[in-house]
Amino acid sequence: MNETDSAGGQTVETDYGEDRNPLFARIPRRDFVKAGAAAGALTSVAGCTGLLDGEADRPAAAVDAEVPPGELDDYYAFLSGGHSGDVRVYGIPSMRQIMRIPVFNIEGARGYGFDDETRAMLEEAGGYTWGDTHHPRPSQTDNVYDGRWLFINDKANGRMARISLKYFETDAIVDLPNHQGTHGACALMPDTRLVFGVGELAVPFPNDGRDLDNPDAYRSTLSAIEAESFDHQWDVLVDTNLDNGDSGKEGKWFFATSYNSELGVNEQEMTADDTDYCVAFNVPAIEAAVEAGEYEEMNGVPVVDGTKESANTHDGEPLVRYIDIPTNPHGVSVTPDGQYAIVSGKLDPTCSIIEIDALDEVDDPNDAVVGRVNVGGGPLHTAYDGRGHAYTTLFVDSQVVKWDIEAAVEAEMGSDDPVIEKHDCHYSPGHLIASESYTSEPQGDWLLVLNKLSKDRFLPVGPVFPENDQLFYIGDDDAGMQLVKDTPTYPEPHDASIVRADRLDPATVYDPDDLELDYVGSADTEIDREDGRVHVKMYNQRNHFGFEEITVQEGDEVTITSTNIETEEDILHSIAIPEHDVNIKLAPQETREVTFTADEPGVYWIYCAYFCSALHLEMRSRLLVQPAD
């Protein structure tokens, strides 16, 4: 069967009979599990387990996924916190949650958003009250995780953030002014020089009241950020929406999916065409255009024209190539060897395979599509084991499907012959990630699947159900995928990355040279007063602060700079003055600063909110605010 994109006029070979049914996207959520079970029973192949026989509920006895007390995990897993605005850190294979890293949220336990530095970082990046983290991606060197940074997007507000993996804390946020909703997030490979934010929601450019009800004039952008400085470098304008993204392995191509090439504004319009796009960005060519001044500045950012009718997409070496993909594609990921970009259809049962090197050779970018495998209902995202296998989530079928990449290239378009096995999930999986899957060296042992539904898996907690992260062992191709663990999680997370533990070397105490503020030791305490401003410099250590009392005048602007002078790891202190909304965390050798106005006379206790010793409750000081006369 041939299908034609009425917007782009391209014809795509999709010979997969009656399996394609875009209408499954409209099945009510309460019917997903029932439909998925039926589809799994009908389309099961050798090695598949199903909901009906209960096998998927039993952990595989042969797989040792336990990490006894006192022993450490083999991997870090970084998972998006979704609407919580943070990043969760798991150990793999234990699935123990080790830490939460605040990013776009204010968080009391870490004092994040309360001290002057992190408060300013959040305010200067838009001052939004919440964020929605989706795609955590670690930095790489030579296509291998290097332990420096983790990058994460804010789908809600058009921002990107960087997390230091030395201290496991957010150290930079950038606002992307030409985005409404930054969805995909990924670094350029093989070496993390640039980080990309993928703008999902198309709007008029400039968005100043013109073309309010003319969606044909709406545009989206791909944004590039320099990793070291975290400065916004340039954007590329496209006349479609953009969604998820991934980088080629050689530093040239970056790929992003588009599920709304129609630029529709409702479900019917956005699902009207039989094909949408995978958009391929030629990064060196784009950088050359920026260097040559071939751009228009929008909101202070150089914006290169990458729309379909632009000369940049036709003349000479194209900056942007639009590849037709059926239908409403969502996920895109590059294989570990860098040979293929694999794109999932979402409203189509196929994954399309793009040969990356062919993009430099073909006149029609659609000729770079060398395979299209029929995997099942609702394919979303694909991960890899390094042995030539791909693993794709099937949202509608509530399954993960394992298939052979080269067999899919050699098979007829739309064939399901490359499918090796399917395994049921609980339920409706979205993203998945295999250990170090996005690098050139996948480890091929663990597969983490993030499910959107968890009904009947955990104790009931009211109408808002937890979601369900499930761990599979994929290291034995003869035994097939083996489900070993369920872990409930607070809704609604999205994606993850798994990094071998020995690739990271986190600090256990701060290096004062890494901090901008001057260290305040026991000999550096002082209180400076000048023109209604009071600057308190003090240390803290177990059982006491540097000053037993601090006296100020009503209306004074008070700044407290404090250092935790402990050298022993895991001894945290804080400065809490609840009546003035002060709550800063201080780890060993860390210096933080907070500024507030003493606007009411009275006595206000200063105390340490971290239980640090047997005399923790006695670790106090007083803020004495004298009346202003």
On the question of a cis peptide bond just before residue 295, with omega within 30 degrees of 0, the verdict is no
| Residue where the block lists tokens 């100043």 | 208
Percent of the chain scoring above 70 in pLDDT: 90
| Residue where the block lists tokens 């942007």 | 320
The CA-to-CA distance between both ends of the chain, in Å, stands at 87
Whether the CB-CB separation of 359 and 280 falls below 8 Å is answered with yes
Q: Binning pLDDT at 50, 70 and 90, where does residue 373 land? A: very high
Element (H, E) at 122: helix 116-124
> In angstroms, rounded to a whole number, what is the distance separating the alpha carbons of residues 85 and 621?
33
Q: What is the pLDDT of residue 629?
A: 81
Task: Provide the β-strand partners of residue 383.
Answer: 391
Note the pLDDT tens digit of each residue in 412-430.
Answer: 999 999 999 999 999 999 9
Whether the CB-CB separation of 184 and 202 falls below 8 Å is answered with no
Note the pLDDT tens digit of each residue in 570-624.
Answer: 999 999 999 999 999 999 999 999 999 999 999 999 999 999 999 999 999 999 9
> In angstroms, rounded to a whole number, what is the distance separating the alpha carbons of residues 382 and 470?
16
Average pLDDT, stretch 50-59? Answer: 39
Q: Residue 288 contacts by C-beta under 8 Å, 6 or more apart in sequence?
A: none
> In angstroms, rounded to a whole number, what is the distance separating the alpha carbons of residues 396 and 433?
18
Q: Binning pLDDT at 50, 70 and 90, where does residue 211 land? A: very high
Neighbours of 548 (CB within 10 A): 10
| Global model pTM greater than 0.85 | yes
User: What is the token pair recorded at 30?
Assistant: 């309460």
What domains can be seen in the chain, in order of their start residue? 2-503 (2.130.10.10), 512-626 (2.60.40.420)
Note the pLDDT tens digit of each residue in 262-286.
Answer: 999 999 999 999 999 999 999 999 9
Average pLDDT, stretch 227-245? Answer: 97
Q: What is the mean pLDDT of the chain?
A: 91
Average pLDDT, stretch 325-342? Answer: 97
Q: What is the pLDDT of residue 144?
A: 98
Q: Binning pLDDT at 50, 70 and 90, where does residue 493 land? A: confident
Pairwise pLDDT comparison (30 vs 247), residue with the higher score: 247
> In angstroms, rounded to a whole number, what is the distance separating the alpha carbons of residues 520 and 561?
8
Element (H, E) at 287: helix 283-291
